[in-house]
Chains A and B, each alone.
Chain A
Amino acid sequence: METLWFVLIAVLWLGYLFLEGFDFGVGMLLPVLGRSNEERRVMINTIGPVWDGNEVWLIVAIGATFAAFPGWYAALLSAAYLPLTLFLIALIGRGVAFDYRGKVDNPRWRKAWDVTIVAGSWVATLCVGLLISTTVLGLPIDADGDRVGSAFAAIRFDTVVGALAFAGYALVHGAVFTALKTEGEIRERARRVALVLAPVALLPLVALLAIVAGLWAGVVVLVLGAAMWRLLANRDGQSFALMGLAIAATVVILFGSLYPNVLPSTLNDAWSLTVANTASSPYTLKVMTWVAGFGTPAVLVYQAWTYWVFRKRIGVQHIPAGH
């Protein structure tokens, strides 16, 4: 039962990284791909109907961790206090920015929210990468699961590589998504940017996987290579699907190497938090399994339907005048 929940939480993170990954990327690339206000509006509108639903994957991943592994939730969140504070502020900023940007027709107003979107997307992606690599690579925690040492214990060389890994992935993923969802000049630009950025931007992800799982990183390299090859061949949809496969393989490798730990202690193996010593009681897990068993498929169905409703590519010619 604990193992099932460990897998389920990995799946929730996968959903989050795959879905919000591209809307982070779109935000990060806003000034690069969107040269004019119309183009930036095209980009924001590609993620407009879905970004909020994407973010719920995070809320549920965190909530499910609380319900199924309270010890993991408490230790990780309290230990990574400062990065998480930044993360929350970044999410707050970019969330209201999408909604408020177009509500006043004034270039300075838009500019301020554009800056918020870009900064918020970068900071949030880096923080989420830091959080995931921290839980995989471990923290100096004592026998009670409390952090020993400085408030910056979560910021180390390997976790910073992890932060850059997810930011780099989001950049390329966002560009591929923009290519898939837009038409005209902006689509061409998105493809070009994805192809040019990929070799550099995806390097930290490969490095993180190599640190964690050695040669298994090769699997992800192959999939990412295939994604770029399909993009080169003008097959945006296939490229996007392969980017999804790459993050799926990444999550499998990271969480697979973590199991049965959930947060290793870098001080003493005996103090590591594991699925067994942090899990909720069998009854609670059973209740949550019923809820997730009925709830999650429904979520997949109606979110898939949303993407289908908004499946059309958009271009600058669709943007009504005004803001």
Chain B
Amino acid sequence: MEVLELARWQFGITTVYHFLMVPLTIGLSLLVAGMQTAWVRTGNERYYKMTKFWGKLLLINFAMGVVTGIVQEFQFGMAWSAYSRFVGDVFGAPLAMEGIVAFFVESTFLGLWIFGWDKLPKKVHLACAWAFSLATIASAYFILAANSWMQHPVGIVMDDGRPRLTSIWAVLTNNTVLAAFPHTIAGAFAVAGAFLVGIAAWHLHRKSEEERVWRSSLKLGTWVGVVAFAALSISGDLQGKLMFEQQPMKMAAAEALCHTEQPAAFSVFAYGDVTRPDCENVKSITVPALLSFLAHNDFSSEVKGIQDLVPMYQEKYGEFYPVDDRLGELSGKPIDYVPALPVTYWGFRLMIGFGAISAGLGVFMLWLTRKNRTPTGWWFPVLGLAGIATPFLANSFGWIFTEMGRQPFVVVPNPSGVDGVWMFTAQAVSNSTVGEILTSLILLTAVYSVLAVVEFYLIRKYVRGGIPGVLPQKSDDGALAFAY
């Protein structure tokens, strides 16, 4: 194994893992802030209990999101130092802004919220909940702005071989981030919605105490999920159109579209071997002209295929990697401009598929529980709990698709942007030894696996405990009502 491959595996594992916690944190913290608002405004105990229960699960998850996030901040410098040097003038700024403007708020006000239940006036305490939940959203914005710049570099000039920032405003209002942000946030709400639905369905089935808490939670969760799916579809469509323009190879790879078509059909399901860019042996079930519409809002437009894009890429960005020791085996070799097709093709379909299943389940659950009904069959909680996994899977596949789909680039060239601003992933890695990266890869993966088991166990424990498990014990003088 080469350093490059190991470093890519490490980045993939740590980032996908981190992004299991993040959407739940984002979605749930806003919902919890909403529940607490309902309690403060109406005085209804039911909302207090909801806040306490879902807040507890939020905290268990939040801790994991924070600690796995620290790794992200360090690993650009540790494993991708050449990348960090190349893009530092632009890329570091949104990361540092995230820290100063968002993450400080998030961490400080979360501490106040956890420990401040009896120490702060009710409304101040509520304001803390809003402060940290809105800060999680701001965090997401800055991080996505950084990521979007890698997909579509803007706001720069080329200076002495490196991009130099000329407009931070252009980076923060990149059309790529304007589409990616609502898509990601909606994905976070889809996760939180399914989480509420699954757990509430299980409690309803068990006839746990506080039936009304579970019923309200389930209703809230289904509506959140359904609205999130609508937002996901709209923002996803916008993202797709941008991608056809900004990263045509990625979209062709998403479709495994080998030859240019006009009008182009959308492939629903392929059988055969999608790994080969010549598309022999691939049969697929298609919807005529749909891809043309997705790309350009026009059922008769042309969509470029991989085989026509490759020569265009070769002409613009070179046929061979430069001869450079740091590139290892790839030095002087031809550049493969086609991303891993099975990953992009199936990643794209699994993202959409799991997203749709998740939304469908939400609607079905809403119908099942209409007029305070609760289905008695064992399948009802099973369906709910299994449904929790679907938006998580959709999110992960979406990210895997979009990050694998931009290979071999780490910074994708902007077709209408500044000349020369792109970077191949092979050029981005540090000159670390295999031993170093292998050590951290093994250690981090091991620690993450153990923590996954621990988090799952704790969430299960507190889910089972229901409402009585989360109400505070009385303390005499209230020094700490919600102690560790």
Contacts and interface: CB of A to CB of B under 8 A. Distances in A.
The answer to whether A and B interact is yes
Contacts of A314: 479-480
The B interface is mostly helix, strand or loop, or mixed, namely: helix
B88 A73 contact: yes
Interface residues of B, number: 79
B439 A48 contact: no
Interface string A275-298: 000001101100110011001100
Contacts of A96: 63-64, 67, 451, 454
For A49, A291, A312, the residue with the greatest tally of chain B CB atoms inside 10 Å of its CB is: A49
B38 interface: no
A68 interface: yes
A14 interface: no
A82 B98 CA distance: 26
B315 interface: no
Contact of B84 (A74, A146, A291, A302): A74
A63 B94 CA distance: 9
A67 B119 contact: no
Nearest to B112: A306
Contacts of A66: 76-77, 84, 88, 91-92, 95-96
A51 B481 CA distance: 18
Contacts of A210: none
Given A66-B92, A92-B451, A96-B63, A292 B77 contact: no
Contact of A67 (B82, B93, B454): B93
For A50, A51, A281, the residue with the greatest tally of chain B CB atoms inside 10 Å of its CB is: A281
A319 B432 CA distance: 48
A173 interface: no
A59 B70 contact: yes
Contact of A101 (B71, B164, B436, B484): B484
B159 interface: yes
Interface of B: 59-60, 63-64, 66-68, 70-71, 73-74, 76-79, 81-82, 84-85, 87-93, 95-101, 103-105, 107-112, 114-116, 119-120, 159, 164-166, 168, 430-433, 435-437, 439-440, 443-444, 447, 451, 454, 458, 461-462, 473-477, 479-481, 483-484
10 contacts: A44-B484, A56-B107, A74-B88, A78-B430, A95-B67, A99-B63, A151-B435, A310-B115, A314-B479, A318-B477
Those 3 A-B pairs whose CB atoms lie nearest each other, nearest first: A70-B88, A77-B77, A67-B92
Interface of A: 41, 44-45, 48-53, 55-56, 58-60, 62-68, 70-71, 73-78, 81-82, 84-85, 88-89, 91-93, 95-96, 98-104, 145-147, 151, 280-281, 283-284, 287-288, 291-292, 295-296, 299, 302-303, 306, 309-310, 312, 314, 317-322
Given A65-B92, A288-B93, 13 more contacts: A45-B484, A48-B115, A63-B100, A66-B95, A68-B96, A73-B84, A82-B440, A92-B71, A284-B168, A287-B93, A309-B112, A320-B481, A321-B473
